[in-house]
Structure 1
């Protein structure tokens, strides 16, 4: 995920990001999740960190971690299947 530089794609929307990463993440979840699920959790939480950084760069009102975390939690409540990895790894509480 690091090479995708998600946090730098501020010209796109969250839907664009979801369309880009969901097939990849679903594949990882299907392949590695069958036998080695616990190894995926750090990666899935890292994707959440990239998404929070993206939201902080895109929306200036989310300029600190607390506001960005709250916005991410609200997004998960509104649309729990928007990003594929949210089924397994909810955004961290900070």
Structure 2
């Protein structure tokens, strides 16, 4: 289990960077949907990890604040900052 956003970012950033490099060149329209889906998974992780963000709206707000405060934490936030 991951204990912080930093651990999650260290785990998925190399994989996402490879996807962005390959699909960003050949099929970027599919990539945007995938990257937005990663943000949806991050919202779900926030909801499960922090019970005070049990509501989806509160978790999305928290993700938006983290995105604003640390815009380069996750590699895919350079392209997509929205969630499903």
TM-score range, shorter chain: over 0.9
Report the CA distance between 1:46 and its aligned residue.
1.0
Question: Match for residue 46 of structure 2?
Answer: 55
Question: Match for residue 79 of structure 1?
Answer: 70
> Unpaired segments of 5 or more residues in structure 1?
1-8
Report the CA distance between 1:91 and its aligned residue.
2.4
Q: Say how many residue pairs are matched.
A: 84
Q: Distance in 2 between matches of 1:27 and 1:57?
A: 27
With structure 2 as the length reference, what TM-score do the two structures score?
0.92
What are the within-5 Å matches in structure 2 for residues 1-94 of structure 1?
A: 9=1, 11-92=2-83
| CA deviations over 1:29-76 (Å, ceiling 9, x no partner) | 011101211110111111111110000000011000110011011111
SS in 2 for 1:34: helix
More helix by share: 2
**Following TM superposition, where does structure 1 have runs of at least 4 consecutive aligned residues deviating by more than 6 angstroms?**
none
Q: CA RMSD in A?
A: 1.3
> Unpaired segments of 5 or more residues in structure 2?
none
Q: Distance in 1 between matches of 2:25 and 2:72?
A: 20
